[in-house]
A and B are shown apart, each in its own frame.
Chain A
Amino acid sequence: MSPSQQPTSTNPSSLKNQFAHRFIRALKTLNHTKTGAAHDHNQMYRRSIRVKIASYTAMASVVGSRRAWSRAVLWKIIKRSRNQGLLLRKRKRRNPNPKREDFNPFRNSGQELKLRKLVPGAETMDSWCLMGETADYIKCLVAQVEVMKTLVDLYSIT
């Protein structure tokens, strides 16, 4: 974590750098655990899933605990790896910002519910937080996609 990072906004190029470092590291680990039958379809599908999970995990770990969406992603990964669904209960923050009323102008509109399903951790937050989380999530997704495209291009050359 570089000390020059601002707490509320993320510099796009530093975000991409940090994501690239972690993601490439994860890819190297994945590469070293490959088995002999690389052309088996099931094997290929599972590797593809692992790459996808590594990608989302790398981005969420760069953002860390700063954002509700990244906490939700990391929590899901931790839960999955520990396999202890019953014992660990997530603490729900009812209203993290007690200085204003709950903000719900789009109250129960179909689109907002769809958005809550797309953004991790967004199901219980109020609409104000949802907008902010969505904006940050989109910025990070865009950075993630750009780095992955670069990697695909580079690996395709050799």
Chain B
Amino acid sequence: MSSRRSRGIPRITDEQIIELVSKLQQLLPELRNRRSNKASASKVLQETCNYVRSLHKEVDDLSDRLSRLLSTIDDDSPQASIIRSLIN
């Protein structure tokens, strides 16, 4: 793997790495509530993978339910306008 190493490039500091990992950690529901904000990087990565997988699964399930519900709707325009007004 070629990497450019010229003199003027600022090196990534350890603080930046820690900050990045902790920012990611904030997004994860499993690790967000822990008092110690020092979960190891590999733990954060592992939880991230699990979380993304569970979100994908949720999208699958919800798509399945939505497609079944859609087929029971004949006239969708009143629902669509209601939905839009409720979401906004």
Could you mark each residue 1-45 of chain B with 1 if its beta carbon is under 8 Å from any beta carbon of chain A, else 0? Answer: 101110001111000010011011001000000000000011001
Size class of the B contact interface (CB-based, 8 Å): 35 or more
- Whole-angstrom CA separation of A49 from B64 in the bound complex: 8
Asked whether any CB of chain B lies closer than 8 Å to the CB of A38, the reply is: yes
Q: Tell me the bound Cα distance from A38 to B72 in angstroms.
A: 9
Q: A51-B66, A101-B9, A115-B48 are in contact. Are A142 and B55 (CB under 8 A)?
A: yes
* A5 in the interface (beta carbon within 8 A): no
How many Cβ-Cβ contacts under 8 Å join chain A to chain B? 144
Q: In the complex, are the beta carbons of A138 and B67 less than 8 A apart? A: no
Q: Which A residues lie within 8 Å of B71 (CB)?
A: 34, 38, 44, 47
Q: Which residues of A contact B23 (CB under 8 A)?
A: 131, 135
Which residues in window 41-82 of B have CB below 8 A to A? Answer: 41-42, 45-46, 48-49, 51-53, 55-56, 58-60, 62-71, 73, 76, 79-80, 82
Q: Tell me, yes or no, whether A55 is within 8 Å of chain B by CB.
A: yes
Collect the chain B residues with CB atoms within 8 Å of residue A28's CB: 76, 80
- The SS class assigned to the B binding surface is helix
Alpha-carbon distance between A17 and B14 when the two chains are bound, in angstroms? 38
Contact status of A50 and B67, CB under 8 A, knowing A28-B80, A118-B53: yes
Set A31, A95, A111: member contacting B70, Cβ < 8 A: A31
CB distance from B32 to the nearest CB of A (A): 12
CA A111 – CA B24 in complex, angstroms?
Answer: 14
Closest residue on chain B to residue A19 by CB atoms: B87
Q: What separation, in Å, do the CA atoms of A131 and B42 have in the docked complex?
A: 13
Q: A141 is contacted by which of B46, B52, B64 (Cβ under 8 Å)?
A: B52
- Which B residues are within 8 Å of any A CB, using their own CB? 1, 3-5, 9-12, 17, 20-21, 23-24, 27, 41-42, 45-46, 48-49, 51-53, 55-56, 58-60, 62-71, 73, 76, 79-80, 82-84, 86-88
4 new A-B contacts at CB < 8 Å, known A47-B70, A148-B63: A132-B20, A141-B55, A147-B87, A152-B69
